[in-house]
Chains A and B, each alone.
Chain A
Amino acid sequence: MRQADQRQEPAAYERLVYKNASEYHYMKISLIFEKEGKRLEAAFFKQLIISALRDLYGEVGAAFPFDVLKFDEASLTAILRVYSSGLVKLWSALTLLGSYHNESCAVRVTQVSPFLLALSGNSRELVLN
């Protein structure tokens, strides 16, 4: 904001909006089962997400490409990568995911960001010494 502008016009500001920050969006999610202590393999996990997409968006939706970048079997957390145009579809399908082989489960979305580096840490888990 320049001094000349402030004198001439009141309350003018400039906002820069980037339409395409990044081609991909990254999501950090965790899968929670009603029953404790359930373990899952990465392939089953991906199949679970694809079946959720198929329920909501059909064959066309299930064919949308996304990747499971990291999957932790013990804590059932994963990092997914999806094209930015498909983020809304993937997120809504994860929200409506209810059961896996007749067992109730839910997906908690911890973090979503267009940049992978942002998923390396967040202020909730920050430990200040």
Chain B
Amino acid sequence: AHLVRISYPGRLRDSTPILKCISPCLQLLPLSRYLLCEIGVSEPASLQLLDERAVYTAVKAAVCRAHGDYGAALSSISFAVKYVNAHTGVVFLRCRKRYYRLIWSALAFITSLDSRGKKIPCFFNCLHVGGTIRTCQKFLIRYNTEQLHRMLPRCRNEAERLEVQKAVRSCSLKCTRREEEEEDEWDEDK
């Protein structure tokens, strides 16, 4: 990076040099924040009805209620639901870095999701805010391993214990899909 000293003589009281960076500036990219949320429902069966459209409309309506026209317009700049997992209830929301707080604060006011004509009472739990999807994925892996560690002492029989231990050992960034399938198997055993 080249640094150039530019000074304006006579204009200011003591001519302060202004440093200017000429190298290509990466800050021109629109910065975004990814909110990693978990949807909690009373009946696990109703999680199957989860889809991106329901989450999108619910979050938009909540922001409109909480922050008005101003908040709704600002937060909807490059707002998208990036990923929805109907089995575990994990949702990735993307928004601008400057306005992610509007969405974050409005998540607490969501009480139900409207999906295919049915109303699912639920609550949103924001687990992590990251700059990229990869950092959120890494956090999700760590979080899931911690959850599995917590489940281990509460296993009722040896088969379940082996399942959980296998799942914990296979946790890595490449094995995300496999790890989620093992979690589902354990849920079905219950």
Contact = CB atoms under 8 A, between A and B. Distances in A.
B67 A60 contact: yes
Chain B at the A interface: mostly helix, strand, loop or mixed? helix
Given A58-B64, A60-B105, A12 B69 contact: no
Contacts of B70: 56-58, 61
Contacts of A11: 10-11
Contact of B68 (A9, A10, A12, A61): A61
B118 interface: no
A56 B65 contact: no
B63 to A, nearest CB: 8
Contacts of B69: 55-57
B66 interface: yes
B190 interface: no
Interface residues of A, number: 13
Interface in B66-85: 66-71
A11 B63 CA distance: 51
B13 interface: yes
Interface string A1-22: 0000000011110100000000
Contacts of B10: 9-12
A12 B67 contact: no
Contact of A57 (B11, B13, B68, B105): B68
A14 B13 contact: yes
A73 interface: no
Interface in B1-50: 10-11, 13
A56 B13 contact: no
B71 A57 contact: yes
B71 A12 contact: no
Nearest to A57: B68
Interface string A46-70: 0000000011111111000000000
Contacts of A9: 10, 13
A49 B64 CA distance: 19
Nearest to B15: A9
A59 B66 contact: yes
Contacts of B67: 57-61
Given A55-B68, A59-B65, A60-B71, 18 more contacts: A9-B13, A12-B13, A54-B68, A56-B69, A56-B70, A57-B67, A57-B68, A57-B70, A57-B71, A58-B66, A58-B71, A59-B67, A60-B66, A60-B67, A60-B68, A61-B67, A61-B68, A61-B70
25 contacts: A9-B10, A9-B13, A10-B10, A11-B10, A11-B11, A12-B10, A12-B13, A14-B13, A55-B68, A55-B69, A56-B68, A56-B69, A57-B69, A58-B64, A58-B65, A58-B67, A58-B71, A59-B67, A60-B66, A60-B68, A60-B71, A60-B105, A61-B67, A61-B68, A61-B70
